[in-house]
Structure 1
Amino acid sequence: MHREPLLTAVPPAPVRSLAELYAIAFDVAQKAAQRYSALVERSDVSFGPLRRVFEVLVASERDRADGLSAACLTACGKRPDVADLRWAPVDLVPAAEISELGNSGLSTPYTAWALAAHHRQRAFVFWTYVIALAEDALIRKTAEGFARDALSAGNLLRRERRLAWRAERKIASNEIASAEGTNEPASAALLESLLHRDIVAWSQGLTPAQRDRVLAMDPYRLPPHFLTPPDRADTEPASGEIEQIKQRALRRAEQLSNMYLSDADSAPDQDSMELAQKLAAQAIARLAGLRNIASVVP
């Protein structure tokens, strides 16, 4: 997942007044809440675990904005005002990062907490720059408080990230062990096999024409009479189960695409690189096809 470099969060000019400082901090918190809110509004069932993470993040940023508003009223005699901004505040929660996480089938609570922790680290870097450029002692002192808050919040987010990582590793280990009777890490061959099962299961809940489109994405390409049970009424998955199978197939297809791309990057020789690149191209085309089918087939 692409992330903007931390050290590019540089204010274009020194902050000249306390009112300007609070206006910047308030704008940053509000913008973060707005960006995170975009993912809270996602209604698809498969996004539920991620949505709960962003609900927490939105509440945290709104609390931060409320605290800044109250502090500004005490320190400056007024609420934060955009009229005090002399330049557009640095975007500490880029929309592209939020969009990429929301669109990736591989996103998990771990990746969401990790991205939020990265955002707070970027905020710390930004406030450190503000401190370094400030000429007024009160501005420096207040910005130091903002920097400490960013560090403290980042530490809490990293704790949540670690907890999510442990939980997801346990779930993944159980899933692979259940599928293959082993605790070994997932290989491309294993994922291809699991994806094959998902594609076949997905196809059982579709019309014949839709089924042909989905099965065309199957790397095994078995003849149709091997894939259709004799009595579909007894074996056809329920609609809710089909949705879970579809989302799992998309995640595995994306994971395989990333795996082959990684293999190409680390290939020890030309032949291995070319093979990995070929597999990556096929996997990416398959992923695009499956995503297209998923978007038009309810």
Structure 2
Amino acid sequence: MPLLRTTLLKAEPAGALHSLDELFSLANAMEQEAASKYSELAQEMARQNRSELAAVFSDLAAAEREHVDSVTRWSQSRRGKPPDPTLVRWDAPATFDRDATTEIKTSKLMTPYRALAMAVRNEERAFAFWSYLAAFAEDPEIKKAAEVMAGEELGHVATLRKVRRRAYHQEHDRLRSATGKAEQIDASALERRLAGQFEQLEGGLDPVQARRMRELADEARQMSTEANGFGRFPAELERRDAETIAEVLTDAYLEEAERADDPVCLESLQALAGRAIARLAWLRSLSV
């Protein structure tokens, strides 16, 4: 259980459940929040004219509303009444990643696969939460109900993983089709292009920002040397804006670091990823 808690939950539950009524109310609140968050993301994607992502989040919101109805029916059958929101005495540990929500709204590279991967992570956190409560519950009835909730969340994880796999294959099929015969470049070339874009952007900034932009240009040239020969990207990326290129490189360094077996290579990729993350965060701050 400690491993489950540390890897998925950002904090331990703030209290213990003392009745089934409290459990149903907390479960209802968590499912309602997820439905609301997904609906919010669907609306934001529609506002950005990103119809494919809007459809993904609309489907996720609909699934969460079904979960709300399921909890309500369970409460009715066991307690003879719907969940009472006033019985929620403490906030559950965050199972819906706020940073991920922000990234979905701002990322120019968000895809259905990446969105579904975040949804899977949310459901895994919910599974960890209910598993934790079940493990430490003293009342046998509450323990059993928490175990049922954990099982439900695990089922949601399995379902979303299947949908995510389909999205992954569709995304990569499109990518291979689009780039199979296209000219390819490596991360070094993209870093050099990024350095040039930073220098062009410098003129429109205040002195402090301009100085930071020069530093980023120098850093990008250094990173281009370190990333020489790494990655394969469509050459057309060189024509994209600085933020998009920076995001592509950040994702590439992070993903390759996850797959790296060699300790030296892993350390190098993690260092590149760390600088790339800080760079992307600063670029995004300019447009806020």
TM range (shorter): 0.5 to 0.7
* Aligned residue in 2 for 1:35: 37
* Deviation at residue 5 of structure 1 after TM alignment: 4.4
* Deviation at residue 160 of structure 1 after TM alignment: 1.1
> For 1:158, what is the secondary structure of its paired residue?
helix
Identity across matched positions, percent: 32
Q: In structure 2, do the counterparts of structure 1 residues 34 and 178 end up closer, same or farther at CA, with 3 Å as the change threshold?
A: same
Residues 21-48 of structure 1 deviation map (CA, whole Å, 9 limit, x = unaligned): 0001000000111111111112345522
Contact 2:9 2:95 in 1 (8 A): no
Question: Could you tell me how far apart the structure 1 residues matched to 2:242 and 2:94 are?
Answer: 35
* Aligned residue in 1 for 2:28: 26
Contact 1:33 1:62 in 2 (8 A): yes
**Superposition pairs for residues 212-231 of structure 1, below 5 Å?**
none
Match of 1:7 among 6, 9, 32: 9
* Aligned residue in 2 for 1:187: 186
* Deviation at residue 192 of structure 1 after TM alignment: 7.0
* Aligned residue in 2 for 1:256: 249
**Could you tell me which amino acid in structure 2 is paired with residue 255 of structure 1?**
V
* Deviation at residue 76 of structure 1 after TM alignment: 1.3
Q: In structure 2, do the counterparts of structure 1 residues 78 and 261 end up closer, same or farther at CA, with 3 Å as the change threshold?
A: closer
Contact 2:39 2:61 in 1 (8 A): yes
Contact 1:9 1:125 in 2 (8 A): no
Contact 2:108 2:244 in 1 (8 A): yes
* Deviation at residue 49 of structure 1 after TM alignment: 1.8
* Deviation at residue 248 of structure 1 after TM alignment: 8.2
* Deviation at residue 15 of structure 1 after TM alignment: 0.9
Contact 1:32 1:61 in 2 (8 A): yes
Match of 1:16 among 15, 18, 23: 18
Residues 61-91 of structure 1 deviation map (CA, whole Å, 9 limit, x = unaligned): 1110011112112211221112222322332
**Could you tell me which amino acid in structure 1 is paired with residue 249 of structure 2?**
L
* Deviation at residue 171 of structure 1 after TM alignment: 1.4
**Could you tell me which amino acid in structure 2 is paired with residue 188 of structure 1?**
A
Q: TM-score, normalised by structure 2?
A: 0.67
> For 1:15, what is the secondary structure of its paired residue?
coil
Q: In structure 2, do the counterparts of structure 1 residues 261 and 21 end up closer, same or farther at CA, with 3 Å as the change threshold?
A: closer
> For 2:249, what is the secondary structure of its paired residue?
helix
Q: State the number of aligned residues.
A: 240
Contact 1:105 1:247 in 2 (8 A): no
* Aligned residue in 1 for 2:283: 288
Q: In structure 2, do the counterparts of structure 1 residues 288 and 88 end up closer, same or farther at CA, with 3 Å as the change threshold?
A: closer
* Aligned residue in 1 for 2:107: 104
* Deviation at residue 284 of structure 1 after TM alignment: 4.2
Cα RMSD between the aligned structures?
A: 4.1
Contact 1:32 1:93 in 2 (8 A): yes
* Deviation at residue 96 of structure 1 after TM alignment: 2.8
Contact 2:127 2:153 in 1 (8 A): yes
**Could you tell me which amino acid in structure 2 is paired with residue 187 of structure 1?**
D
Question: Could you tell me how far apart the structure 1 residues matched to 2:179 and 2:145 are?
Answer: 51
* Deviation at residue 114 of structure 1 after TM alignment: 0.8
| Runs of at least 5 residues in structure 2 that lack an aligned partner in the other structure | 1-5, 198-202, 205-216, 218-237
* Deviation at residue 260 of structure 1 after TM alignment: 6.8
Match of 2:64 among 61, 64, 79: 61
Q: Larger Cα Rg: Structure 1 or Structure 2? A: 1
* Aligned residue in 1 for 2:78: 75
* Deviation at residue 95 of structure 1 after TM alignment: 2.6
Residues 195-254 of structure 1 deviation map (CA, whole Å, 9 limit, x = unaligned): 9xxx9xxxxxxxxxxxx98xxxxx9xxxxxxxxxxxxxxxxxxxxxxxxx9988853442
Residues 141-186 of structure 1 deviation map (CA, whole Å, 9 limit, x = unaligned): 2111111111111001111111111111111222222422x7xxx6
Contact 2:9 2:94 in 1 (8 A): no
Question: Could you tell me how far apart the structure 1 residues matched to 2:189 and 2:179 are?
Answer: 9
Question: Could you tell me how far apart the structure 1 residues matched to 2:250 and 2:10 are?
Answer: 30
Residue 128 of structure 2 corresponds to residue 125 of structure 1: yes
